[in-house]
Amino acid sequence: MLEATWFSEAQPASGTAFSLKIKRKLHEEQSEFQFLEIYETESFGNLMVIDGCTMVSTRDNFLYHEMMSHPVLFTHPNPKRVWIIGGGDCGTLREVLKHPGIEQAVQIDIDERVTRLAEIYFPELCASNDDPRATLKFIDGIKWVKEAAPGSVDIIIVDSTDPVGPAEGLFCADFYQDCFRALSDEGIVVQQSESPLLHMNILKAMRDEMRAGGFQHMQTVFFPQCIYPSGWWSATMATKSPLTAFREQDAANKAFETLFYNADIHKASLAMPEFFRKAFA
């Protein structure tokens, strides 16, 4: 009975698992790139699972989407052009376009089926898909960045799955080198950087690859994310020049609603745990 009514994502390496009680499976399919499932859960709304890993739920997606978007947007002095690599559920795109100063937001996800399923099962995340500033492209994000003109973007948000399968190439020096070239002088790349509790090896390796790609200045933000391993997640920003203080007054006076992010959360998310500080000393 337990197996029939619960979805569980096990993490054998850490001896942990996360489970949600489900009402029913709404959809499953094998796309060209990955295996997609949608569940209706008892307490977290709808749940998207990709290749057996939890990706997004109705109840807690705001934590991830807001923290992947607003800290970097309020750190850049005047962002206008944003690329989202991955992000097929469109929640990050929605948050980016809450900023009135954004002139162009391009979402590049290799798997169109993720977006089409989000439109059906997570329509609230797709609320800004028809914004005239938004462009959806279903192509290889690595190739997109490689072919981009130098200095053609202000912020690159790498909203990817774990560093396996289609996303593996998004965690290597060659990709970061292409990001470095495509970014404007004050540009920032930010990438989801896994759980600092369970995946420090991935986070360390990612920072090493960023440095090898040309980025010498990095800053990691920490935030809760219930459905991801350990419930504690991170995103790492990297820049060409030293990261300056974020635009705190603008964040405090933001003209749009959020559920989690505010100026105080931004400041708190930058606080570095002692074990993290020592790991990167």
Residues with Cβ within 8 Å of 253's Cβ and at least 6 positions away in sequence, in order, are none
* Beta strand ranges found along the chain (DSSP E): 6-11, 16-30, 35-41, 46-50, 53-57, 81-86, 104-108, 134-137, 153-159, 183-192, 217-224, 232-239
Catalytic residue among 60, 109, 154, 159: 159
C-alpha span between 110 and 124 (Å, rounded): 21
Q: Tell me the backbone φ, ψ of residue 14, rounded to 5 degrees.
A: -105, 0
Sign of the CA dihedral with 105 first, then 110, 113, and 117 last: negative
The answer to whether the CB of 209 falls within 8 A of the CB of 171 is yes
C-alpha span between 167 and 160 (Å, rounded): 6
What is the DSSP-derived secondary structure letter of residue 193?
Answer: -
Q: What are 278's two structure tokens?
A: 């020592």
The answer to whether the CB of 97 falls within 8 A of the CB of 105 is yes
- Helix, strand, or coil (residue 63): helix
Q: Tell me the backbone φ, ψ of residue 230, rounded to 5 degrees.
A: 80, -15
Whether 159 is catalytic: yes
C-alpha span between 80 and 203 (Å, rounded): 28
Active site residues: 159
